[in-house]
Amino acid sequence: MKKTRFILSLITMLCLAGWAWLRKPYSPSQELEPIVLTAFDIHADRPAGGYALAEAAAGWRGVTASSYNPASGLLALAHTSSVTPRDLTSRLKVLTPRPVSIKVFPEPAGTSCPVPAAALATLPGWLLGAGIFSAASLALLALGRPGKPVWQ
């Protein structure tokens, strides 16, 4: 029993210390709705056409920013997840007779972390959960009276 309590105490301390070290302090930016960035190859024949598309898209619900660059021919939209890139493509196609396609950027060269960044970001939450669970288990053990189990 002592060994179990010691292990649980150790797990609780390690998990809560890890959570305290990894957790991020509060910032007002956390309250903002997340955005997605999507680039479209709009093949505009004239820059004015591209700028007009960017201006129209800027007014759509869910689009937080739009930008057209005549040098690249790309229209980039910052939008919330309430609209999908496919929806935006359809809406752009209505506005222009030119082909519209989503720009896929080439994979950057070099090695990348095999663990997705989103998974790493959940680590503090898991540590806090594990810390609370082991602390609760420790409390239950402490409350329980030593002796033979009832089924013996």
Partner 1 sequence: MIKHTRIPALLLFVALFFAACKDQDGPLPQPDPTLYERLGGVDAIALVVDKFLANVVADDAINARFAATVADPFRTQLLRNNLIDQICAGTGGPCQYKGKTMLEAHTGMNITDAEFNALVGDLVAALDFYNVPQQEQDELLAILGPMKSDIVGQ
Q: Which of 4/112 has CB closer to partner 1? A: 112
Cα dihedral value 83, 88, 90, 91, nearest 10: 100
Query: How far apart are the two ends of the chain, measured CA to CA in Å?
Result: 17
d(CA 142, CA 32): 43
Short-list 88, 86, 27, 24, CA closest to 56: 88
Contact partners, residue 115, CB within 8 Å, separation at least 6: none
Q: Closest distance between partner 1 and the C-beta of residue 70, in Å? A: 9
Q: Name residues whose C-beta falls within 8 Å of residue 82's C-beta, 6 or more positions apart in sequence.
A: 61, 62
Q: How far is the CB of 60 from partner 1 (least distance, A)?
A: 13
Question: Which CB, 105 or 151, lies closer to partner 1?
Answer: 105
Which residue, 17 or 32, is less far from partner 1 as judged by CB? 32
Q: Which CB atom, from 75 or from 127, has the smaller least distance to partner 1? A: 75
Determine the 3-state secondary structure of 35 from DSSP.
coil
What is the nearest approach in angstroms of partner 1 to the Cβ of residue 62?
12
For partner 1, the binding residues (CB under 8 A) are 24-25, 27-30, 32, 34-39, 64-69, 71-72, 74-78, 81, 105-108, 112, 116-118, 121
* Nearest distance in Å: CB 37, partner 1: 5
Phi, psi dihedrals of residue 9, rounded to the nearest 5°: -60, -45
Nearer to partner 1, 48 or 140 (CB): 48
- Minimum CB separation of residue 152 from partner 1 in Å reads 52
